[in-house]
Structures are given as C-alpha cells and as structure tokens.
Amino acid sequence: MTIRSIVAAYDGSPESITALDEAADLARQSGAKLTIVGAVPLVSQTFGVAMPVGQGIEHAVDEARKDLAAQKSRLAAHGLAGVETHLLEADPVAAVVGYVDQHSIDLVVVGSRGLGAPGRFFLGSVSDGILHHARCSVLVVKSTRAAPGGKPAAAPRKGAR
C-alpha cells in the first residue's frame, strides 16, 4: 500500500495527540502529506437528544483553531513541515469521513479511548464510526495512557514483554 496522504482525526484529547504523533511518524517515514482534521459539533448529545450548543460555539471554534495551530507548530518544530489543518463544524465522524472522501485520502489515523462496548453504546465512538464509514484504511492507535473502561493503564511490569 502506497501512502501519499494521511489524515489525523484530532479532538485535543490525550488519545488524539498520541494518534497525531503516530500519524506524524508515518508521514515522515512515507513522505506522505499530513492533514490534521478537527471538528466542532454544532449540537451536543445529552442522553441521546440533540441540544443546540448556542453562543458557546464561537468560543469552541476559536479554541479548536488555536489548538490545531499549536499542534501544527509543534510538529513543525520537530521537523515535519507542510502539515495542513482543517476545522469543520459538524459531527466528528461525518466531518472526518466527508473530508477523507472529498480529498481521496489514503489513511486515517484516530485514537482509541478504550471505552469498550458499554461506552460505545451510550456515548458512541468516533474511532468506531470512522472505522466503519471511511472508504480508506483506518489506523486506530491504542493509547498506553488508557485501558479498557477509560481507566489509566497500569505501568508495564519490569521485564514484561
């Protein structure tokens, strides 16, 4: 598989930062173009009911833009130039999948929060949604920071492999 373009789905969480770092490493190794895609939903989900975000959306968009710019600068400082960022005002799954489809992306890299089946049932899962709806390959990066159930992972035992 030739990888020419990579999208890192980014939401500011520690898991998405881990996934972004993995995407950056892959971009360096393959010479692929890296794009960081973030999304700010226009509605929030409360107990499965869509609630308008209201005036807070402008603040959320500004903060998300600043965060994306900071990540782009961080990657540039570590030798990865030419990274693009896009912030979309939409459901994260729809935003990332739509961007990927419109731009013929080869690989999407997402973080996993390790919610497990019960968490996915109640909260939904962005990584799961992208995995099942994207028309390209998807790499789900497991974070060493979280274990199933969203609890902190135990440190590896000395000598364990």
How confident is the model over 110-149, as pLDDT tens digits? 998 755 554 444 344 888 899 999 999 999 998 765 444 4
Question: In order of start, what are the domains of the chain with their CATH numbers?
Answer: 22-144 (3.40.50.620)
Q: Which residue has the higher pLDDT, 127 or 76?
A: 76
The residue type found at 56 is G
* 88 backbone φψ class: left, alpha, beta (φ>0; ψ -120 to 50): beta
Contact predicate 126/23, CB 8 Å: no
- pTM of the shown model: 0.78
Q: Over the stretch 1-46, which tens digit does the pLDDT of each residue have?
A: 799 999 999 999 999 999 999 999 999 999 999 999 999 887 655 5
List the structure tokens of 15: 């898991």
Q: Could you tell me if 41 and 141 are in contact, meaning their C-beta atoms sit under 8 angstroms apart?
A: no
Contact 34, 85 (CB under 8 A): no
151: left (phi over 0), alpha (psi -120 to 50) or beta: beta
